[in-house]
Every structure is written in structure tokens, then in C-alpha cells.
Structure 1
Amino acid sequence: MRSYNRHYLGVAVFFLFCFQLLAIDTAQANPRYAAIVIDVESGDVLHSANADATRYPASLTKMMTLYLLFEALESGNMHLSQPLPVSSHAASMPASKLWLAAGSSIAVEDAIKALVVRSANDVAVVVAEALGGTESGFARMMTQRAQELGMTSTVFRNASGLPDNAQVTTARDMATLSIRVMQDFPQYYHYFSTQSFTYRGTTHTSHNRLVRNYPGADGLKTGFIRASGFNVATSAIRDNRRIVSVVMGGFTAASRDTHMSDLLDRGFARLSMLQRGDWIARADVLGDRMELPDSPPASAQQLAAAPESRAQAPSGDSEQRYSFQSEVGIEMGSADDPIRALIAQADAPQQRSGGSWAVQVGAFSDADQARYLASRAADQLANLLSDVRVSVAESGGDQRVFRARLVDMQESDAHSACHSLRAQGMDCMVVAHN
């Protein structure tokens, strides 16, 4: 029996080692991934992964282009019906675009809709030249304004998000920009929910499917270049609370949207838990989050001083132009897509055996509340771990505090359980349990 136990332990360690290698390989497969979820009312960060790592913004850039345009409208320097001239430089931009002709013009309101719905690169340059004289001059205005908004890791080199090694940001900065757009210009925010618009007889439809398909989602922006992967910034409301989330580096638009929907669901679930008035202390996770490695092209400070240079990458920033390839191939379920892997990891059932580790899900002044939350956590883990035991114990000290725990776990099982609970919106902490 002792030999059998040693053999079983060896097999378990081997598979744990293989799982760790698989996690490392998965992480290395996508150094572009980053995400953040923020409760707008409180400013609390409900989830983050590589949120401060340097990334390429792609067409999320156009949110800043629109921010400066909204400033011009609010100050009275522009008005919605004002025609903006189209230069040969603007007309030469690659797709996505409206195919504006040099020497023509476009009204400001049509320009706003074209940036939101079509993600039109030619229109972005039209706006840039109208506000900054030249696109490079406007990019300097964008960077300066970004710094003033607290986006300290962001550098802009163009108005569209077309490939440029020196144009960088972070998920946190893009979330900051999303929130400031809503708060500073509520009278114009509704444009970000526009799903279609008609210009000169052609109807253009938004490829921001989250606004159409996720309940409560009411805006912002998608983006794609090969260097960035598929990005999206989304705002959604549920029970009168607003969440803003940013996902960067998706391998496909579909997996990115699935991951965003999952993050929003978990964010709202966590927010509902935090709104309960009976918390004494919130638990935090220790070591159970799989952080994907950062792979910044350079620091924002270095890039701010660097000469302007155009990276060799595909022209264009359109999800639509790649949609056919995605539908027939990648989006059918690539095993190499780390965003799908993150979702699958949270849902994958695992085996367990008794041990001396526990998952604490809260500390309460009322024993019934502690027991309720611990039982709820056990129910949420039913598909992951069988026969989880609930423990509610009073801690020593002057104040009566009841710890809500799930006990008798192996350490690896406890970390997996806590990871799963956090993914479902419940805070937790892995602890040794005697």
C-alpha cells in the first residue's frame, strides 16, 4: 500500500508538472493579452491581467480622436453640421475607410458615426487635420491630452490606430479613456452605441457585436491590427451599476467577445457580492491567477522621444476584412487560442482528495451569513470538486468574527477552487487549515 501511495503521488506530481508547462506554453502563445474590469461608480478594479503592460491600441485609438473632437464641439470651435475638408493624405489611408475623395468634405456628425461604426481610417485623418493642422501635430495633441487624463503609459503617433511601433497604451489607460469619454461628454456618448449609418447611399453596419448581443452593453469600440490582436473596450449597465472592461490581444473577434462577456458577467456577480453590507473583510487570492507574460515593445517614455516610424505590418484596421477567414477557420475553436483556454480552465472539472488546506470566502460578524456564503461557494464548485466540506469557525479576539471556509483540500485543489470562485465573482483566499 505504501508503494502504491508513492506511485500515486509520483503520477500526481508528474501531471501537475505537465499542467504547469502547459500553462506556461499557453501564456507564451499570446504575449499580447491584457484585460481589466472596473466598477465606474467606485473606481474599484474587479479584475485585471497584464493591465499595465504595454500594448498596441489599434482602433481603440479612435476613442481619443473622438474625445478631442467632442472637446472642440463642446467649446464651440466646431459644430455637428460643419463640413471637414478631405486632403490627399486622408484619402490615401488604407481600409477600413469611407473611400472619401480628395477635395471633398464630410460633416462632423457623419465623421463621428464613421469612426464609431466603420472605424474609418480616412475619416480619422480628416478629423486630425481639422483639429491639429497635420496628423502628426494632432498625434502630439492626443498624447498630451492622454497624459493630462492620467493615461501615463500611452503614446499616440497617428489618429487611426494603424500600425506604428511607437503607438502604445495599456488596458488600464484605455479603460481610463473609456470612462472619461462617458463622464466628460455624456451628450455625445450615445454615438458609441450606433449600430449602422448611411452615407451617400451606402449603409455601414458596426462589427461591435457586444453592443448588439450583450444585455446592458451600450458602447464603445473595437480594434484590430496583427500586432495587437483583437481589442475591445465595452461599457455595460446592470442594476443601475456600470462596468467598463477592456480586453486586448484576442486571437479572433469571436473568442475576444466571448471572453469579454464572461468578464462582464463575473464583474457584475462580484459587484453584487461587494454591495452586501455584511462584509468585515474581503479575501484576496494568493497565487492562483495565470498571468500572461508582458512583451512590451518599449517603455512609453522611450517611445515618446523616439522618431516617428511606421512598423511593417498589414495596413488596415478592419475586423470585417478578416471575417471570412475567421468563420471558416480560426473561430471554429483553435486549440491555441489562450482566451478560450482561460475560459476552459475555469470550467474544467478536477479530482481532489482530503488535505490540510482551505479556501476562505469571507469573514462575518454573523455566523448564519458566513454559513450562507460558504454553502453558496460550495454549490458553485460542485462541477469542479465533489464532497467539499463547509466550515464556519469563530476566530479569537475581542470582536466576534466568523470565518467562512471550504476545507479538507489539497493545496493545488484549493488554488484551483479559489480561481474558479473568483472567475464567478466571489472573492476568496487560500489558507492552511488545521
Structure 2
Amino acid sequence: MQTKRLFILPLAFAIAAGTLVPDSESFAAPQKSKSAAHKKPAATAPAAAAPVGETAVAGGAPVLPAKAWLLMDFDSGEVLASANADEPLPPASLTKMMTSYLVEQALRTGRLKKTDLVPVSEHAWCRGSSSESCMYLPLNSQATVIDILRGIVIQSGNDASKAIAEYMGGSEEGFAKLMNDEAKRLGMTNTHFVNATGLPDPAHKASARDLAILARAIIRDSSEFYPIYAEREFTYNGIKQGNRNALLYTDPTVDGLKTGHTQDAGYCLVTSSKRNGMRLISVILNTTSAQARADQTRKLLAWGFGNFEKATPLQPGTPVGTAKVAFGKADTVPAVLGSPWTITVPRGQKVQTAVQLKPDLEAPVKKGAVVGKVVATSNGKPVGEAPLVAQADVEQSGLMLRGWQHLLKLFDK
């Protein structure tokens, strides 16, 4: 226990001092002096040259020396800028976002309870190691699900991830199948999980776009548990560890999500930041250091918030079209926006809207039923869409009138 404490204290001190430390699966050996604790980690070589980013903003995307990166608008899921967004890459401990997401959804649906006890097998146990990130669960002990979740998210515990994987999936391999099934459901098309931790495996890959989709799902679907991603420290088994996401200490608008690092993956970071009602999700994959991933994230978020803004193309309840209705007491019904609608667009660009109504509506039509959609474009590019609904009920016409309407419809063909 004393050795563990000596290892964790320099880590916590380094984070508090603003010096970033190696993350997740590839901690250095225990440091022997305070001066050693402040040495910068050895650089991991990313792509040879910064990839060219894509964006709709005049002047282009920022230049970031990471192998892949992406910036997404949370509300719409629209990608605002990216480079190599769909290249499958080693995700390191960013993998644990899927592990934690499955735990959170099991808690939400009642499959798991916060107080359920998770056993720690020899496979899950870290063996007191300081060469990988651990929650330091004792062998053959038990921990509550909510403590395990914090150990995964805050401490990036490989032992916590393996223990819950065995508990939920029967084995880590069985849990990986659950991970891949969920990835498919979410639309993560360039991702394949082999384990619950992100430990290196040639077949274990994820793309920047897919990781942003996953981050968006966590924020959207796990509202009760999402505040855990902003917690700066967690103490378990008498060992206090700090969250390795340095932006949580320096940017009050940042509230998650996860860091990652292995030699093959380089330094990685998925971040969420909310400013003035707009939330952006950033992904940095395979850059050179913990400092670089934080700096590049700051640059990307600053660029995003500086170059995009929220727009309200239409107000709810205002008729924007008239949908034709067959076999009804009324021939038409006003189409309106049923709920508030905002989109994220490049600053200063005008937004155009186009209404698309269903051509085959038949009575009865209930008030609030979807009768079409409105599509927003900016600078010729689609930037969002929203459903249009019927403003009023349209009752079905009487039998004789319906017969006459059917006859008229035949002659109209």
C-alpha cells in the first residue's frame, strides 16, 4: 500500500501543478524523486505531417499535428471540421468510454444497480502494478458498480474495466461483443473492440468520427452519470488519483470526457465544452504528448466557438407550408415546426430553408402528426433539418364524399 501511495502522490501533484502526466495503459515506472515527477513524458511520434482539415468555414480548418482530429456540434451531430475522421486508429483508453457507456445504460434500465457488488478476478487484478493505470482493486475483493464506474472514468482503471466486463459479459471477450453490438447500433462504422480497456491489439481500432458519436451518446443518454466525467479526483482503497484530463483544471467550460495513451495510439483526448448555450465535442488522436493533446484541444475548441454560432431558422408554431390531405373534411392542413429548432452555422453566413411535404397524406390526420420536414442550408451545404407537423386535426370525410373523392383522384391520374 505504501508503494502505491508514493506512486499516486507525484501524479496528483503533477496534475495540480499543470504538468501533464502519461496516461492510461503506459505509465512510466514509479518515480523516485520530485524532479523526476516533473519531467515531460517522452514524445510518441504521430503522423509525419499534419493532415489537411476540412470545414465549411472560409479560410479553412486549423492545422493540428495529430494523426486524426474532429470537431462536432453536439446538438445536431454535424461535423464542423475534421482531418482523417474515418481512419481506424488505436484508441487506447478512449475505449473505456464504451465500457462506461454500457455500465451507465445498464444502470439506467435497471439491469445493474449502483450498489451491486462486482468481484475482482485474477484476470482483472492489477497485481499492484504501477506500469498501467489502475483503480487498485484488491484481488478477490468486491466493489460497488458506482465505484467501478468512477474508477473507469476518473482513474482510467484497467482493473475496473476488466472486472465490470466479466460481470456484465461473462468474460472480457463476451463484453467486447456487447461493445461491438452497441457500436453498430450507434452508427460507429469504423470501430472494432477487442477488449474493455484499450490495451494494444492489432484488431482494436476506432475512428475520430466514431469516438465523437460515442461521446455524444454518453452526454445525451447518460445525463445522471455524465457529471462523473468532470470529477477531478477519486479516492479508492485509500489511494487518491486525479483525473488526467488537464482541461478540467484550466477551462471551466470543459466537463469531460476521456484521455488515452499507448505507444501505438500516441496521446489522445476526447473533450466536451459548453459555451453560451453551444456544446462542442472535440477528438484528438495520436499526437506527441499529453501537453500537445491539451494544447491542440484548446486550439480546436477556441477555433470552433470563434467561427460558429447558433441560428434559429424558424419559430415553432408558424405555418411554413400547406400539406394536401386526401379523403378528409379539409383538403389541406398547415404545416408548422412543432418544437424549438436551433442549428450551428459558420458565423455571418445566412441560412436558407426549404420545405418538403409528404405527397400522400390521407385523413384522418392528428394534430402534431409529422407531415414533412424543413431542411436548412448555409452556403449551399445542408446544416440541419427538423420535422414539420400538422397544426390541426383533419377528420376523415363521410362515406359518400370519400367515394366521390376516390373517383376524382382516379381522373386526376
Aligned to 1:187: 224
Q: 2:108 aligns with which of 59, 74, 80?
A: 74
Q: 1:106 to 1:213 in 2, by over 3 A?
A: same
Give the structure-1-normalised TM-score: 0.56
Aligned to 2:68: 34
Distance 2:237 2:159 in 1: 16
Written as runs of structure 1 = structure 2, the 5 A alignment for 1:347-426 is: none
Written as runs of structure 1 = structure 2, the 5 A alignment for 1:23-422 is: 26-27=49-50, 33-92=67-126, 95-272=132-309, 275=311
Distance 1:235 1:364 in 2: 27
Distance 2:119 2:178 in 1: 20
Point out the structure with max Rg over C-alpha. 2
Shift of 1:271: 1.5
Q: Deviations over 1:112-163 (max 9, x none)?
A: 1111111010110001001000001101110111011100111000000111
- One-letter identity of the residue aligned with 2:70: I
Aligned 8 A contact 1:32 1:55 in 2: no
- One-letter identity of the residue aligned with 1:165: P
- One-letter identity of the residue aligned with 1:195: R
Distance 1:195 1:45 in 2: 28
Distance 1:362 1:116 in 2: 38
- One-letter identity of the residue aligned with 1:26: A
Aligned to 1:10: none
Distance 1:146 1:128 in 2: 16
- More helix as a share of residues: 1
Distance 2:350 2:225 in 1: 44
Q: 1:201 to 1:92 in 2, by over 3 A?
A: closer
**Number of paired residues?**
258
Shift of 1:44: 2.4
- More strand as a share of residues: 2
Aligned 8 A contact 2:137 2:237 in 1: no
Distance 1:208 1:275 in 2: 31
Shift of 1:107: 1.1
Aligned 8 A contact 1:57 1:228 in 2: yes
Q: Deviations over 1:2-37 (max 9, x none)?
A: xxxxxxxxxxxxxxxxxxxxxx95349x99611110
Aligned 8 A contact 1:35 1:247 in 2: yes
- One-letter identity of the residue aligned with 2:159: D
Q: Deviations over 1:232-272 (max 9, x none)?
A: 11000000111111111110010111010010011111213
Distance 2:66 2:253 in 1: 28
Distance 2:172 2:179 in 1: 10
Distance 1:364 1:106 in 2: 54
Q: 1:135 to 1:151 in 2, by over 3 A?
A: same
Distance 2:108 2:92 in 1: 26
Distance 2:260 2:77 in 1: 24
For structure 2, the residue ranges without an aligned partner over 5 or more in a row are 1-46, 52-63, 314-346, 352-378, 380-413
Aligned to 1:395: none
Distance 1:363 1:265 in 2: 19
Give the structure-2-normalised TM-score: 0.59
Aligned 8 A contact 1:231 1:256 in 2: yes
Q: 1:25 to 1:170 in 2, by over 3 A?
A: closer
RMSD: 2.4
- The secondary structure found in structure 2 opposite 1:51 is coil
